[in-house]
Chains A and B, each alone.
Chain A
Amino acid sequence: MINRGEKRPTAILVDDEPNLCALLKRQLTASWPELIIAAEAHNAADALSMIDALQPEIAFLDIRMPGMSGLELATRVGTACHVVFVTAYDQYAVQAFENAAVDYLLKPVSEERLRTTVARLQGRLCQSPPDLSPLIAQLTEQIRPKKQYLQWLQVSQHNDIELVPVDEVDYFQASDKYTLVVNRKSERVIRTSLKELEDELDPERFWRIHRNAIVRVAAIARVTRDFGGLTLQLHNHEKTLSVGRSYTHLFRQM
């Protein structure tokens, strides 16, 4: 029962898809007529400034949005308001949400499920919003990529500049001031030094095997041992690469 004198709760809806904001707004109006939808935002940056200005009690946040995600947005919002996550597909552990004092809705939202959420929110409005940072830290841990390694090389050929994924490269070889970028189809030149490449490439996928060469591990077909030391034969290449003395430990017998 709502007292006439009591302040009506306010909410903000955040979804990058306008039609989905509109749908949720209509559904909320039907199942919770007292709720005032103070604003709709279609990206996280707009949402932040609106929350700051309007100070709503509740924020409905879409999780997957371009730019800042709903999870990141929730961390920024902190305990300023109660958060309900809305997502098309639950790629995160549902239990994580259920354990924390936070609700989540799956799109398309069913009227019945929305009524449960509304009832829960009405019960929680008198309490201060919970701190979601541990939960969100746990969730973002699952999706955040680890260290960002070099993925693309910018290679110019004639007048064209082309972007080549590093996984297309079989080996890099130092040559005067330049570095040769070699795969089975082509041999191109970049200005990045082997040292810089070695620092930026994923060390699990690329090995420095010589003072003048870095090889993509998956491109190695055979390791040949002869009097001179170790020689690598590569898939689809006739040319072989020799392994420098100080790099033979990479290929040592187990």
Chain B
Amino acid sequence: MTMTKIHLPPSACGRLKNGSVPPPLKNIVRDLVIVITLMFILAGLLNFALGGGYLFNLRYCLAIGLSITLSSHFLMKWRNAQNIHWQTSLAAILIGTTVGIIIGTLANGINPVSLIEKYPGLLLALLVVSLICGPAISYFFHSQAAMSEAAAALRQEELERISYEQRLTEANFKILQAQIEPHFLFNTLSNVLSLIQTQPEKAGQMLSDFTAYLRASLQQTRCDRIRLEDELATVRSFLDIMAVRMGNRLSYRIEIQPELLSVQVPPLLLQPLVENAVEHGIDPKPEGGDIIIIAYLAADMLQIEVSDSGDGITSSSPVGVGMNNIRERLNLLYNGEASFQVLPNSPHGTTIRLIIPLHREGKQ
């Protein structure tokens, strides 16, 4: 079975690449090379300490060392584990020692059965050496594996953190970009210019709404959380500007329980939804319409709804950039605990419902 990790671009339409060597085989070769090298050294040491000849010792060492290594790989594969576990190691040492002693004895031309009767000293020595060296070798591989595993986990964690931050920054940047959209800026300024001559007071009001809106957009994108009250103030500035621009085709209502004014929400979460409701809901209708924003508590979650009385969404209506952006930010900020629903209104229009975990002021 081969495993291939693929990275698909969002619009991938080509074919997927396949390839790369599966890692377990590489590991087994590497481990065998290390074990064989160690066994050549160990055989020398044992020959020096206990005698019996280098080749005699080497046959035993290789037989036992390779048996332990192979049986631990076999057990890992059988248990479908990625790394060595102490129980696996223990079983591998016991099985490997037994099999290794039998093979080594045969290789040295001795009948294994006679080992118990004729050479109990040799058997004891073999067992003692195996049970000391086996765990030592096993520990060496174990710590190697644990080290590389820890390094991989650290790398993965770092990668995830970077990608999280990158996505969040990107989402925030897009929101800011949408806030200072040129059509909105220049049309609003043109309105102010028009009103200055005929209705200076109204022009002044519009300019101060515009200032509040711009200031909030620029400042709040730098905060992690703001008070719902502040977000609603930005929304009000926006709606007041649009009501003037659209020649009173737009009316709105905000209903919120007073105790919810101070809850903490991510900045510019509501505003793009309201903008969407005006642009795609109300503006296309010559007679205009209403926007209703309500916020309430349900099952300990903060629920916010933005409804419009527009023509509603059809199956092929484009999914607004703003909507995707908010979905993405909610997923990143609340780790899947928040939800975003689009509901058709009866008889017409759309409601967007946000359900997000409640954050009171001063609490995280």
Question: A residues touching B (Cβ–Cβ < 8 Å)?
Answer: 16-20, 22-23, 26, 42-43, 45, 64, 66-67, 88-89, 106-109, 145, 148-154, 160-165, 167-168, 184-185, 200, 203-205, 217-218, 220-226, 249-254
Which residues 177-207 of B have a CB within 8 angstroms of A?
A: 182-183, 185-187, 189-191, 193-195, 197-198
Binary A-proximity of B318-353 (CB < 8 A = 1, otherwise 0): 110001100100000000100101111000001000
CB nearest neighbor in A for B319 = A165
Whether A218 pairs with B10 at a CB distance below 8 angstroms is yes
B13 touches A204 (CB 8 A): yes
Q: Report yes or no: B15 in contact with A253, Cβ–Cβ below 8 A.
A: yes
| Bound: A203/B13 CA distance, A | 8
**B2-38 interface code vs A (CB 8 A; 1 in, 0 out):** 1111101011111111110000000000000000000
Q: A88-B187, A154-B344, A217-B12 are in contact. Are A185 and B18 (CB under 8 A)?
A: no
The reply to whether A164 and B342 contact each other, CB–CB distance below 8 Å, is: yes
Contact between A149 and B6, CB atoms less than 8 A apart: no
User: B246 — which chain A residues lie within 8 A by C-beta?
Assistant: 16-17
Q: Could you tell me the distance between the alpha carbons of A49 and B192 in the complex, rounded to whole angstroms?
A: 30
A163 CA to B340 CA, complexed, in Å: 10
Structural contact, A222 and B5, CB atoms closer than 8 A: yes
In the complex, the number of residue pairs spanning A and B with C-beta atoms less than 8 Å apart equals 147
Q: Are B13 and A42 in contact (CB under 8 A)?
A: no
- B132 at interface, CB cutoff 8 A: no
Contact A222 B11 (CB under 8 A): no
| Given A153-B315, A220-B8, A250-B15, 14 extra CB contacts under 8 A | A19-B191, A23-B194, A64-B183, A66-B285, A108-B193, A150-B315, A151-B316, A162-B343, A163-B342, A218-B10, A223-B4, A225-B4, A251-B16, A253-B15
Say whether A223 contacts B316, CB under 8 Å: no
Chain B neighbourhood of A18, CB < 8 A: 247
Task: Decide: A152 and B197 in contact? CB cutoff 8 A.
Answer: no
For residue A179, give the distance in angstroms from its CB to the closest CB of chain B: 15
How many angstroms between the C-alpha atoms of A80 and B5 in the bound complex?
61
Q: Check B1 for interface membership: any CB of A closer than 8 A.
A: yes
Given the complex of chains A and B, what is the CA–CA distance between A42 and B283 in angstroms?
11
Q: Is B82 on the interface with A (CB-CB < 8 A)?
A: no
Chain B residues contacting A107 (CB-CB under 8 Å) are 186-187, 190
Which residues of chain A are within 8 angstroms of B302 by Cβ–Cβ distance? none
Cβ of B120 under 8 Å from chain A: no
B245 touches A19 (CB 8 A): yes
Q: Which residues of A contact B341 (CB under 8 A)?
A: 162
The answer, yes or no, to whether B257 is at the interface (CB within 8 Å) is no
Distance in angstroms between the alpha carbons of A204 and B286 in the assembled complex: 37
Tell me whether B195 and A225 are in contact (CB under 8 A).
no
